[in-house]
Structure 1
Amino acid sequence: MLSSKLPLLTHRPLPKHGSLCCSPSTVIHLITRDFFQAVPGSLLFHKETFLKPLVMMAAATNMAQDSDLEALALRVVDLEKAAAEAHQRAQELNIKGDYKAAQEAYAEMHKLEDEASQLSKQVGCVQCVLGAPTTTRPPPDGILLAVDGTAAQEGTDSSCPQYDERLIELYSQRYMPPPWPASPPTSGTSVPGHDLSVEQRAIGAMRGAAVADAAAMGVHWIYDLDLIRQLETERREQGEQGLEFMNPPRSPFYTYQSGRNSPYGEQAFLLLKSLADCGGCLDCLAYAEAFSAHFGSDAFDGYRDVSCKGFLRNYSRGLLPPLTGADDAQANCTARLAPLVATFVGDPRLMQLVEMVTRVTQNTDAACAWASIGAAILEGIMLGSSAEHAVRSAVHDLEQEAGVERVEGRFKGLWGLSVKVAEELKLTLSVAESGVSVPEGVIQLGGRNCHMPNALTTPLLVVLATERKKNATQPEADFIEAIRSSLKEGGCCASRSSYVGACVGALSGVKAIPNEWSIKYLKLKELEESIERICRSRSAAATGNK
């Protein structure tokens, strides 16, 4: 009887990284609370005798009473809510052009996030303490679509979000990539670069994304277009063209050495390295552990964004993927796609694997939806399609799936977002076809910030515009023009450039990426080594070797 009241001790599997989802003092609190509620009052003497040592331990940590711990847990919830509101306010201020007030709102957001993280170390799992369901929304019908096409079981314990053993099993598996697919000719094949193999396109995408992100880092998150124009003037006076590899970097939110990846690029690089370290396989638990070890380390001297902090807070509570993911749907979900799509291009499991990776750090349907579309378009280009054909193909599939119950298509209904996403993609195609300049098009698509849909549609606009002017004999010039166009619009230009770099790199291969840019990238050697290991694993899959 008591076991049903103590899910933490009897039902809940232990995380593989060796901790419960709650701190030791929280576990003591939960044991005492649940035990006192479970045992009849007539046995009060016995339960007090049994629990006396535990109660004394709890008192020693100032958490013997429910109200103390629950007050801390409620404070964490309030801080997280206030941080989200500050973030939304900052985005609105950026759109209005009040950049100083926006930076103040961002500073407030980070202060609230940091306080929530500190309190979380004392509380552990907020849901367990409050006896409330997890705040992250599950996929449709409360299930996660499994990689093998089956459905994960629904959890039965509303107060302990990690109860679903089937979900943990899915994330505990290691997924091996298949051999490289052939490059079949398609009606949407672009003439320039049509002779490239899928492997060559995949390499171009991985390298293009990493180098483009580093090129953008120096002007990342500058929303003031007057300042962008001023920096362009300064560069011209110095005999330089473009804003790439600005030295010293001018980002108002962090101070990095020129040539380093932006925070988005650092997260994408960590995924690339995790794939390489796992022999070209996807291991979500290894990825989560590496993410925590790198970004959660006291030695990390970089910037932690909202989803990064949310992940670290959840991971420190002992939660496992996908419950480690933050309640966030910003540009991270598309900025890190290149290494994952390159590793599994042509694999029918790709959409499910994209969802799994996304939920490790961003456990929302919206993040998964936009990541899936971004991955599908990038995969189409890697398989030899033009960018325009890849976008139109995605729109077609979304419209076919919209409104269909129990969809079996590649996007599985996109968590009910098929219609919205299809409309945004059609708007992007329409703006590109109109021939307006990229700056005008960006305005029509809703802005330059880190949020969806514009965090995907604006880089797609740049890619479509570049493709229309694509020069078969000068792919390097196309790449440079595309990235410079991305940078001139300011705002979240690093995530924008990363996706543009991946697409243009896939269209034309490594030859499109300027060598003088590559040598400025601080992690070039590690990038090349990781790419080589991933490619070697896919080539080995064709012969059955490991």
Structure 2
Amino acid sequence: MTENRIKAAVIGAFVADALSLGVHWVYNTGVIEKKFGRVEQFYDPLTSYHKGKKAGDFTHYGDQMLVLLESVISGGGFDAHRFAETWRSFFADYGGYFDQATKATLENMDAGKSLTESASHSDDLAGASRLAALVPVYHDNREQLVRTAREQTAITHNNDRVILSADFFARSVLAVLDGNPPGAAMEATVKAHFANSSIASLVTMGIESRDRETRETIAEFGQMCSVEAGLPGAVHLISRYADDFKTAMVENVMAGGDSSARGMMAGMVLGAAHGMAAIPEAWRAGMTASQRINALLAGC
């Protein structure tokens, strides 16, 4: 069962991103509802940000997580320099969207800075949200998962709160894989390791919002890309839908904005909690990179 849930942590993050693609960065939830109704399948992107992408593809966040997964699996573990080099090469001929963190990091690399010291100072949660790719290799080593989660984040996002977010979710997903319910795992993690940190209040906000309606709650937290908005939003989704992977993913997308980064974190934790059976087969099979990801995971 643990092997099944480890795989589900990774697949859960990927399907969250793919489901988000259709309405990623659409902030008007009324537009989402009018155009698609309830988003329960993959769609071509509505906005021009992801021009050229098709239903089942990933946003640039999911694409980067796949680069990380391939780097970790092919290399037998995480190496910061190898990942940075592979990440840079990936964007050399990338046809998708370049966000500000990516642009700034690439500019620093091109200016001659060390590949591992070229990160932007972006506060986007997306830098941390790639970490599900590390779980297959480091699920049995808490210290290494936490360390590598922080290191992979710092390749592109040298920001204390983004790095702390990676640390928090790495510890939380391991607690869930150890058999703890998602909400209890996050509560114990923040209390034991982050009580005096700059993200403590954000985690607490998310946990305490578990009985509130999702779209209203995420609108209040903010639909933006930042940790300030995205972290409590992701924690809310995990807390409110702790026993319902599919509803968590759908409600995340219906809440609009940067649904990808929020969803990748929630998908990882809830996938780890419930295993592959909780992830709709149509989503698993409908990802463009499904066979590629399954082949990588089979080689772990």
TM-score normalised to structure 2 length: 0.93
Aligned to 1:242: 39
- Secondary structure (helix, strand or coil) at the match of 2:12 reads helix
CA distance, structure 1, for counterparts of residue 279 and residue 50 of structure 2: 26
**Among 23, 41, 49, which residue is 1:219 paired with?**
23
Aligned to 2:212: 436
Aligned to 1:344: 138
CA distance, structure 1, for counterparts of residue 266 and residue 79 of structure 2: 27
Structure 1 position 315, deviation (Å): 1.6
Aligned to 1:449: 224
- Secondary structure (helix, strand or coil) at the match of 2:219 reads helix
Moved over 6 A (4+): none
**Among 112, 128, 146, which residue is 1:318 paired with?**
112
Aligned to 1:473: none
**Among 270, 277, 288, which residue is 2:67 paired with?**
270
Are residues 315 and 399 of structure 1, via their aligned partners in 2, closer, same or farther at CA, if it must alter by over 3 Å? Answer: closer
Aligned to 1:515: 281
Structure 2: unaligned runs, 5 residues or longer: none
Mapping of residues 144-159 of structure 1, within 5 Å: none
Structure 1 position 338, deviation (Å): 0.6
Q: Deviations over 1:189-233 (max 9, x none)?
A: xxxxxxx32x22211100111122111111100011221121134
**Among 222, 229, 239, which residue is 1:464 paired with?**
239
- Secondary structure (helix, strand or coil) at the match of 2:116 reads coil
Q: Are residues 1:422 and 2:200 paired?
A: yes
User: In 1, are the aligned partners of 2:85 and 2:115 still within 8 Å (CA)?
Assistant: no
Structure 1 position 503, deviation (Å): 1.4
Q: Deviations over 1:122-165 (max 9, x none)?
A: xxxxxxxxxxxxxxxxxxxxxxxxxxxxxxxxxxxxxxxxxxxx
CA distance, structure 1, for counterparts of residue 194 and residue 105 of structure 2: 33
Aligned to 2:92: 296
CA distance, structure 2, for counterparts of residue 523 and residue 337 of structure 1: 18
Mapping of residues 35-114 of structure 1, within 5 Å: none
% identical equivalent positions: 24
User: In 2, are the aligned partners of 1:224 and 1:490 still within 8 Å (CA)?
Assistant: yes
CA distance, structure 1, for counterparts of residue 293 and residue 108 of structure 2: 29
User: In 2, are the aligned partners of 1:311 and 1:325 still within 8 Å (CA)?
Assistant: yes
RMSD over equivalenced CA pairs, Å: 1.7
**Among 289, 294, 297, which residue is 1:528 paired with?**
294
User: In 1, are the aligned partners of 2:149 and 2:170 still within 8 Å (CA)?
Assistant: yes
Letter in 2 for 1:340: L
**Among 304, 307, 318, which residue is 2:101 paired with?**
307
Point out the structure with max Rg over C-alpha. 1
Structure 1 position 250, deviation (Å): 0.5
CA distance, structure 2, for counterparts of residue 427 and residue 332 of structure 1: 19
Q: Deviations over 1:9-57 (max 9, x none)?
A: xxxxxxxxxxxxxxxxxxxxxxxxxxxxxxxxxxxxxxxxxxxxxxxxx
Letter in 1 for 2:71: S
CA distance, structure 1, for counterparts of residue 194 and residue 92 of structure 2: 41
User: In 1, are the aligned partners of 2:16 and 2:267 still within 8 Å (CA)?
Assistant: yes
User: In 1, are the aligned partners of 2:22 and 2:42 still within 8 Å (CA)?
Assistant: yes
Letter in 1 for 2:22: G
CA distance, structure 1, for counterparts of residue 268 and residue 259 of structure 2: 14
CA distance, structure 1, for counterparts of residue 161 and residue 123 of structure 2: 6
User: In 2, are the aligned partners of 1:479 and 1:501 still within 8 Å (CA)?
Assistant: yes
CA distance, structure 2, for counterparts of residue 441 and residue 245 of structure 1: 24
CA distance, structure 1, for counterparts of residue 139 and residue 228 of structure 2: 24
Structure 1 position 310, deviation (Å): 1.5
**Among 381, 390, 393, which residue is 2:188 paired with?**
393
User: In 2, are the aligned partners of 1:221 and 1:490 still within 8 Å (CA)?
Assistant: yes
User: In 2, are the aligned partners of 1:374 and 1:456 still within 8 Å (CA)?
Assistant: no
Aligned to 1:206: 10
Q: Are residues 1:505 and 2:271 paired?
A: yes
Q: Are residues 1:377 and 2:172 paired?
A: yes
Letter in 1 for 2:233: T
Structure 1 position 352, deviation (Å): 2.1
User: In 1, are the aligned partners of 2:101 and 2:122 still within 8 Å (CA)?
Assistant: yes
CA distance, structure 2, for counterparts of residue 301 and residue 325 of structure 1: 21
The structure where helix makes up a greater share of residues is 2
CA distance, structure 2, for counterparts of residue 244 and residue 269 of structure 1: 21
- Secondary structure (helix, strand or coil) at the match of 2:124 reads coil
Structure 1: unaligned runs, 5 residues or longer: 1-195, 234-240, 403-417, 471-477, 536-546
CA distance, structure 2, for counterparts of residue 482 and residue 430 of structure 1: 16
Q: Deviations over 1:486-543 (max 9, x none)?
A: 111010011122122111211111111111112211000110111122x2xxxxxxxx
Letter in 2 for 1:520: G
